[in-house]
Each structure stands twice: as structure tokens, then as C-alpha cells.
């Protein structure tokens, strides 16, 4: 979902500054609620480091290729959310994207605010869907696979929606813009299918080995209803 440089430019980039600032504000709120307020600073820092490394690896090491208006990447947003929580995942997505751009793709930096909005707002949607649809008495390890796939679909659908929004906002509703969005969406569907299979496999491993998971690394609700 690295939207290609030039898709949004000039004065239109001003909107991305606003959306990215809003996403940053929501992330800081989540960090305060789950880390600072509960005096879990070191634990939170560990989760943020791990999610940052995961995101950096997803973007730079795993297969990725340009298609239409954006690059196609594996992200695993819903799985990171279930494993590490919304605050650490949001932080990791932002910092991982920034590091990947600074170190390996400096041409993407002008689009950082566009791309960070595209990554974070679908994550926040996953958080609210999980809050509304998953009982507070249910540990994440006890989720049904269809519940996990619903969260994955929420995240990936959000990615496609935001890519489409930025494309049409930046280029207008032209045939070329429409074709580029369709091309990206079709290509990204392959990533969605693979991620869904891997998400199911990860949840299956958590269900089987949850007693052996390091408690300080993963979100408390992964293995129990403790929050």
C-alpha cells in the first residue's frame, strides 16, 4: 500500500497532513491508555520494538511489487493487533514505514503522511470492530476463525478503500485512475488470500501453544481475559 509518489501532490498533500496528525493523536491516546496509565512502560517499549521490526521486515524483506497506483505489500495488520494490541501495532506501523522509507526508499518519504493514514485508520477500524463484536470475556486465542477473518477483512478492505480514496482525490475520477485502482485491488486480493491463510495458521498455533507464550511480549488478552 505504498501509494506511488506523485499520485497526491501540491496543495492536495495538505489533507494528508491533517489525516496523519489525527492518526498520530489517536495512536498517542492508545499508548497513554495501555502503556503510560498502567505503568507498563518497559513492556510497552518491548512491544513497540517488536512490531516495528515486524513491519519493517514485512515491507522490505517479504515480496512486494508496484501495481497500479500503489505497491502491494504484506501487512498482517489484524494479526499484529491481536498479538500486540492496537497501541504497539499503530506505533510499529508508523515507525516501520518511516524506517523503511528513510533507509531504502527515500522517494516514498513525500508520501509518508498519505501512506501512514492508509495504514492506521484501517487498524483503528479493526479495534472498534473487535470491541463491538468480541465479548470482553473472550480471550483472543479462543476466537473462531471466522471472527479472525472478519477482522482481517476489515483491515484489508480499509487499505483498499484508502488507496482508492487517495487515488481519486489526487488524480480525479478519470478512466486511468479508475483502471489503476482496479488493477491494484485485483493484485492485492492475492495478498489478502495469502494473509488470510497465514492468519488462520498463526491463530491455530496460538490456540495450541498459548501456555508457552512469553507473557511480557504479547498483549495480555491474547491468552486470557485479563486486560
Q: Is 77 helix (H, G, I), strand (E, B) or coil?
A: helix
Which residues, including other chains, have CB under 8 Å from residue 199's CB and lie 6 or more apart?
Answer: 76, 78, 79, 148, 149, 152
Q: What is the mean pLDDT of the segment spanning 156-185? A: 92
pTM for this model (two decimals): 0.93
**% of the chain surpassing 70 pLDDT:** 96
Q: Is 63 exposed, middle or buried (0-12, 13-18, 19+ CB in 10 A)?
A: exposed
**pLDDT-derived band of residue 226, with 50, 70 and 90 as boundaries?**
low
Q: What is the mean pLDDT of the segment spanning 103-113? A: 89
d(CA 38, CA 87): 13
Residue from 67, 66, 160, 57 nearest 100 by CA: 57
Among the ranges given (10-19, 33-42, 52-61, 136-145), the one the predictor scored with the smallest mean pLDDT: 33-42
Q: What is the mean pLDDT of the segment spanning 107-116? A: 92
Cell numbers at residue 7, please? Answer: 499520485
The mean pLDDT of the chain is 90
Q: What is the mean pLDDT of the segment spanning 43-49? A: 89
Amino acid at each position: 500500500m505504498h501509494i506511488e509518489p506523485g499520485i497526491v501532490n501540491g496543495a492536495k498533500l495538505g489533507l494528508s497532513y491533517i489525516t496523519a496528525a489525527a492518526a498520530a493523536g489517536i495512536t498517542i491516546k492508545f499508548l497513554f491508555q495501555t502503556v503510560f496509565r498502567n505503568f507498563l512502560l518497559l513492556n510497552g517499549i518491548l512491544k513497540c520494538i517488536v512490531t516495528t521490526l515486524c513491519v519493517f521486515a514485512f515491507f522490505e524483506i517479504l515480496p512486494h511489487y508496484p501495481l497500479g497506483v500503489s505497491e502491494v505489500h504484506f501487512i498482517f495488520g489484524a494479526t499484529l493487533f491481536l498479538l500486540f494490541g492496537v497501541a504497539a501495532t499503530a506505533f510499529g506501523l508508523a515507525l516501520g514505514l518511516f524506517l523503511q522509507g528513510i533507509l531504502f526508499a527515500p522517494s516514498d518519504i513525500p508520501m509518508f503522511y498519505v501512506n501512514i493514514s492508509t495504514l492506521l485508520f484501517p487498524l483503528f477500524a479493526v479495534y472498534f470492530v473487535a470491541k463491538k463484536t468480541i465479548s470482553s470475556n473472550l480471550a483472543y486465542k479462543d476466537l473462531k476463525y471466522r471472527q479472525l477473518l472478519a477482522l482481517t477483512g476489515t483491515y484489508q478492505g480499509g487499505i483498499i478503500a484508502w488507496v482508492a480514496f487517495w487515488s481519486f482525490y489526487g488524480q480525479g475520477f478519470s478512466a486511468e485512475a479508475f483502471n489503476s485502482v482496479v488493477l491494484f485491488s485485483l493484485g492485492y486480493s492475492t495478498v489478502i488470500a495469502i494473509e488470510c491463510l497465514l492468519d488462520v495458521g498463526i491463530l491455530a498455533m496460538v490456540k495450541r501453544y498459548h501456555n508457552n507464550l512469553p507473557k511480557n511480549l504479547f498483549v495480555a488478552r491474547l491468552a486470557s481475559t485479563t486486560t
